[in-house]
Amino acid sequence: MDAAPDAVLQARGRHGAHRPAARAEAAALAEVERQAAAVALQVLPCEDCGQEQAGGLCEVCGYRRQAEALTVEAGLVAAAWSADLDDSGAVAAVLVHVRATLQAAVRKVQDDFLGSAESGEVDADPLGTASVLAFGALQAVQEAVPAYRRRALAMLGRSDEAEVEAEARRAYRTEQGRRWFRHNPNGADALAAATKAADAARERTAQFLLAARVEWLREQAAARAEQAAAAPWTDRLPELAARPLDGAAAGAVIAWPPS
């Protein structure tokens, strides 16, 4: 009767002894597969420009993609407060204006770099120059985008939308009614604390509104892109022919650069 438990324990011991070795073998195999996948990825050309052995995306195109994503984001943030969201033309005008503003900032940064480069330096290392220019463009956009967001939050926070003001009034009354202010709810300390709480609530609500509006604009843009891709060219030709070629719609663009 006692032999059976001993045999089981011995078998478990043998299996337990093999577990560390099995884990080590599995880990080694996983590392080999990871390295093989990394090598395979490195030989892929760039998806955007075709540069060989770029790991699927070269450095320059990677910077450009990031800059483009941020440019679109800035445009949506600006449109979220300054345009009628139901008017696709007004939204498009804001996007065009923001893109032009950021492109001007990018050109200035790139011109400054090219103007300060040593004679022959640009031609001697074209790939390096392209990378520096693309990175400079990305930095220029990164520095500008927060201003658009601050502007949008400020404008939404000062708007008279019921949601913003209701939340601000609620926070004001809550803070003013706290027990340490009940003896003098209209005193300077109580009013200052209530005003601060209302401002914070207004900012939180503005952040929520901004996020919701930007998401709605993204969804609308995705839906339009899907419809355009599905529509045959014969249906799209009249629309394309009706578009102005001389920038006549520029008058609808909001002429404010963020500060």
Give the domain ranges of the chain. Answer: 59-237+247-252
pLDDT on residue 25: 77
**Nearest residue to 87 via CA among 255, 258, 249:** 249
Q: Is 102 helix (H, G, I), strand (E, B) or coil?
A: helix
Contact (CB, 8 A) for 185 and 51: no
- Tens digits of per-residue pLDDT, 99-124? 999 999 999 999 998 888 877 777 88
- Tens digits of per-residue pLDDT, 62-83? 999 999 999 999 999 999 889 8
Cα angle vertex 26, ends 22, 30, to 5°?
170
CB-side neighbour CA atoms (13 Å) of 199: 7
If one counts every other C-beta atom within 10 angstroms of the C-beta of residue 136, the result is: 19
Residues 192, 179: Cα–Cα separation, whole Å:
15
Residues 146, 105: Cα–Cα separation, whole Å:
14
pLDDT on residue 249: 40
pLDDT on residue 46: 87
Residues of the chain with pLDDT under 70: 1-18, 35-42, 54, 159-203, 231-259
Residues 225, 222: Cα–Cα separation, whole Å:
5
pLDDT on residue 126: 85
Residues 12, 211: Cα–Cα separation, whole Å:
57
**Both tokens assigned to 141:** 């956009």
DSSP 160: -
pLDDT on residue 197: 59
pTM value is: 0.60
Which amino acid does the sequence have at 207?
Answer: Q
Q: Which residues contact 228 (CB under 8 A, 6 or more apart)?
A: 236
Residues 61, 51: Cα–Cα separation, whole Å:
10
pLDDT on residue 256: 44
pLDDT on residue 105: 95
